[in-house]
Structure 1
Amino acid sequence: MLLKQFFIEKIAHSSYLIGGNTTCAIIDPSRDIDRYLEAAEAEGLKITHILETHLHADFVSGHMDLAEETGAAIYAPAAGQCTFPHVPLSDGDTFRIEDMEFLVLETPGHTPDCLVYVVTDTSRGDTPVAAFTGDTLFVGDVGRPDLFPGKAQDLAGKLYENLHTKVMTLAPECLVFPAHGAGSLCGKAMGAMRFSTIGYENTYNPALNSADTEEFIRSLTVNMPPAPDHFARCSDINRRGPASVRNLPPLKAMKPAEFYERMNDSDTIVVSIRNYATFGGQHIPGSYHIDMGGNFATFAGWVLPPDKEILLVTDSPEQAHEAAIQLRRVGLDRTTGYLKGGTHAWVTAGYTTDHIHQLSPSEVHAKIQDPKTVLLDVRSKDEYESQHIPGAINIMAMDLRTRAGELDADRPTIAICRTGHRSSLACSLLKQQGFSDVYNAAGGITGYIAAGYFPE
């Protein structure tokens, strides 16, 4: 049995190749499928099976592209009611890939359609060797059940039952391979290890050590991290079958005049992905800023309108193409162009730019001594409550799309986050809504503390 893990940073997504001597399966593939094709070819394997553990909410899956490229059959939960050709799977179903026997466990909880694939290598023995747990069981955590309005309590109860009566009854030495790791928002507090064992999780996973069902349900339905907007879209995209990447519009390098003409279409938005200091120095008025140095795909899926055409401002063509890949991962398929030559070409052609002053920690400290200045902490509620600068107002960056009206647009406003990435996004959202006297706290609260300004 051959096993390879593929990990995508930022969205913290794990997918897998599991194979025998001549054939293999890909489990929970991402949309950029070249990694699987190259890995299979390098091992001399033919991809014959594509296995989905559930309809993923946090990313658009590559099952359709991979099936189109390889001719492999897609295996997916029957409960997902997928509308593309597939082999529907239910509890107790089995199938084989060479000497490997796959047993299907239905484990609704994170979503109503979750599956776990339990694999036995019959050439070695009759005890399951691996469980591909999707978003049911993570290292140090379990899948969040609160993504479906009005169903959190019921799903959490089902998750408790399925974990304790099915998954955790597997042999202690059975390896656990989840679909996500630390950094994903599909759970509450995942560990950094990318695989585990049933025995280790039974002993050390806090969620599995809840005293009873009620405590388990409460822990997964109270004070959960907010879910990004694209979580509500991606499951349905995956159910219908995503558009083929090869059929999406190509990314075009646009000279300033063409870029200017296209950006003025009401169906189009401009997104700068350069670092926040560069964006602050000079950017196209009205543009979104999502720093590629931060959690780019997640923040883009969270705040960018999915029905708009996207034009990028980047540091290089290579960065533009990487951004397009990451945007497709969260279902933003209409990325059609980027500014050739960047903002240097833009201003050389005579077009207008805007600015956001970047404040050092000492400048932030000096400026907030003026009672007219608003210090806006744009981190999550939990981060804010853990530690914040006295007097700061807490509105999460992504919520400024709807909550900016709670602030006075005429007062100087400093946005601050942990390091400066989210706060720059916040500044761009405020500027779009008429705030003119806006500042970004470069280095965030991390820099502020390091400079010695945080109260003892």
Structure 2
Amino acid sequence: MFFVDTIEVTGLGNRGYLAGGARTAVAVDPPRDMDRMIEAATRRGVRISHVVETHLHNDYVTGGLELARITGAAYLVPAAATVAFERIPVRDGDTTVVDADAGVSLRAMATPGHTPHHTSYVLEENGTAVAVFTGGSLLIGTVGRPDLVEPRLTERLARAQHASAHRLVAELPDETPVLPTHGFGSFCSAGRAEGGETTIGKEKAANEALTLDADAFVAALLAGLDDIPAYYAHMGPANAVGPAPVDLTPPAPADAEEIAARLEQGEWVVDLRNRVAFAAGHVAGSFNFEAEGQLATYLAWLIPWGKPVTLLAESAGQLAAAQRELVRVGIDRPAAAATGDPSGWVRRGEETRSFPRAVFADLAVRREAGDIVVLDVRRTSERAEGHIAGSVHIPLHTLHRRLDEIPGGPVWVHCAGGMRAAIAASLLDAAGRDVVVVDDAYDNAVRAGLTGRTA
């Protein structure tokens, strides 16, 4: 009897999988903190005999190479992917026995589109398809975006996505579970996944890759593509070279003097506490990236690549969890760290900074008095669906380079829910601006009568 366990990587919006029989198993698209795969195998009482990649990932650093090294597993990577390490090259139609006693095997199916070499794997039990690992090909209600490899290939890969989706539904039964890697918040997805489970039959009925003809699908797909996170440029090359082993030991401790020195040197000091606590009191010059939010995605997107980062956390547990998140995107070793609260992070005689929080109803009242700047840090696609009339639009991921574009006066900054506005407010506060963070759901801007016409 086969099994499939899901390894959630919620901060990045991805999933990895462990699948097999009673004795041995395969790890599919493992995250870099691959100890979670080992723990899952231990709970099952199975040995990881194979590790497979659906493609060279552009949104995270893989744990596949290290997992294969530690467990002695065979490492399967699509043959057309150019890599600098030893692996077993996988080609369309190749079959790999995972657990002979249970009759569990994997059949490779070329599904280019997300990347030119993308490969899906059909999990079979005694020759019958029981699931398909689709990586960045067919997702839940959408597909993986085709614009991450090379701009000149984007349209060609979009057409390949359409063809690959149709191949999957043509060759697999409707009841086959579809198990993608991307699509749960990942920016590798061309759209937002709806729900957590799907099948070939459900996708056949609802996925635009399967309900639209190729020309209409490609036009819709290309029109909906949004900005690519800046750190993606570093993920593919890291995976091609072969990621180094992970070091999750605690960083060197930093006292108030060292924190101040690092700030003076222009390094990033990142406060991991929730945005309410940060607004109430924080180290001047520090930035707020909540540990409970999309820490890895937004910190890696905004920070100049390779710049040292010092982490401030409320507890050792919060710090350890943040380290785990960050190694997944190649931020391997914090320069230093401190735990506790701001009273221990500032030098004697220095004061912490703070700024107010508000809701959209407060903004509606304050706008009547005039002399404020309303800053919208949502993505362009979000703003296109509606915005506050007269607001300044600078997407969060570009804000640190465009602070001088914000007019003078108090700045009330908002996003769709509060997390990105809090990051933006911390950037503005560090730059010495008078800032108020609107920590509220955007639906309340509509209710407060603030929204203008669609852009």
TM-score by length of 2: 0.92
* 1:426 partner letter: A
Contact 2:259 2:269 in 1 (8 A): no
Match of 2:64 in 1: 63
Match of 2:260 in 1: 260
Of 105, 109, 132, the match for 2:109: 105
Structure 1 residues 279-318: aligned runs within 5 Å: 279-318=278-317
Distance 1:150 1:355, change over 3 A: farther
* 2:129 partner letter: P
Contact 1:138 1:190 in 2 (8 A): no
SS at match of 2:68: helix
Match of 1:3 in 2: 4
Structure 2: runs of 5 or more not aligned: none
Contact 2:55 2:115 in 1 (8 A): yes
* 2:116 partner letter: P
Match of 1:415 in 2: 413
1:396 positional shift: 1.0
* 1:430 partner letter: L
Distance 1:265 1:392, change over 3 A: closer
Distance 1:235 1:168, change over 3 A: farther
Match of 1:428 in 2: 426
SS at match of 1:192: coil
Which sits farther off after the overlay, 176-185 or 307-316?
Answer: 176-185
| Superposed CA offset, 1:3-45 (max 9, x none) | 1111122322111111122111110101122221122112221
SS at match of 2:146: coil
| Superposed CA offset, 1:360-396 (max 9, x none) | 4443223222442111111122222223222222221
d(CA) in 1 for partners of 2:451, 2:404: 30
Contact 1:255 1:340 in 2 (8 A): no
Match of 2:277 in 1: 278
* 2:77 partner letter: A
Contact 1:144 1:186 in 2 (8 A): yes
Match of 1:174 in 2: 176
1:188 positional shift: 3.0
* 2:153 partner letter: K
d(CA) in 2 for partners of 1:78, 1:22: 27
1:162 positional shift: 2.2
* 2:317 partner letter: E
Which sits farther off after the overlay, 334-343 or 214-223?
Answer: 334-343
* 1:11 partner letter: L
Contact 1:375 1:391 in 2 (8 A): yes
Structure 1 residues 177-326: aligned runs within 5 Å: 177-210=179-212, 212-246=213-247, 250-266=250-266, 268-326=267-325
Contact 1:256 1:340 in 2 (8 A): no
Which sits farther off after the overlay, 151-160 or 380-389?
Answer: 380-389
Match of 1:76 in 2: 77
d(CA) in 2 for partners of 1:438, 1:154: 45
* 2:293 partner letter: G
* 1:75 partner letter: L
TM-score by length of 1: 0.91
Distance 1:17 1:447, change over 3 A: same
1:446 positional shift: 4.3
| Superposed CA offset, 1:68-126 (max 9, x none) | 3212121111221111221111222222122223221121111122110112211xxx3
Contact 1:419 1:447 in 2 (8 A): no
Distance 1:166 1:443, change over 3 A: closer
Contact 1:58 1:330 in 2 (8 A): yes
Distance 1:396 1:92, change over 3 A: same
| Superposed CA offset, 1:337-380 (max 9, x none) | 22243311124633453333323444322322244211111112
d(CA) in 2 for partners of 1:42, 1:442: 41
Match of 1:160 in 2: 162
Match of 1:22 in 2: 23
Match of 1:437 in 2: 434
d(CA) in 2 for partners of 1:89, 1:164: 21
SS at match of 1:131: strand
SS at match of 1:234: helix
d(CA) in 2 for partners of 1:358, 1:17: 44
SS at match of 1:80: coil
1:243 positional shift: 1.4
d(CA) in 1 for partners of 2:352, 2:128: 64
Contact 2:14 2:184 in 1 (8 A): no
d(CA) in 2 for partners of 1:347, 1:36: 40
Distance 1:362 1:132, change over 3 A: closer
SS at match of 1:116: strand
Match of 2:365 in 1: 366
d(CA) in 2 for partners of 1:130, 1:36: 19
* 2:423 partner letter: L
Q: Is 1:119 matched up with 2:116?
A: no
Distance 1:420 1:175, change over 3 A: closer
Contact 2:409 2:434 in 1 (8 A): yes
Contact 1:120 1:128 in 2 (8 A): yes
1:133 positional shift: 0.6
Match of 2:134 in 1: 133
Contact 1:249 1:336 in 2 (8 A): no
Which sits farther off after the overlay, 68-77 or 136-145?
Answer: 68-77
* 1:59 partner letter: Y
User: Percentage identity across aligned positions?
Assistant: 33
Contact 1:135 1:178 in 2 (8 A): yes
Distance 1:161 1:442, change over 3 A: closer
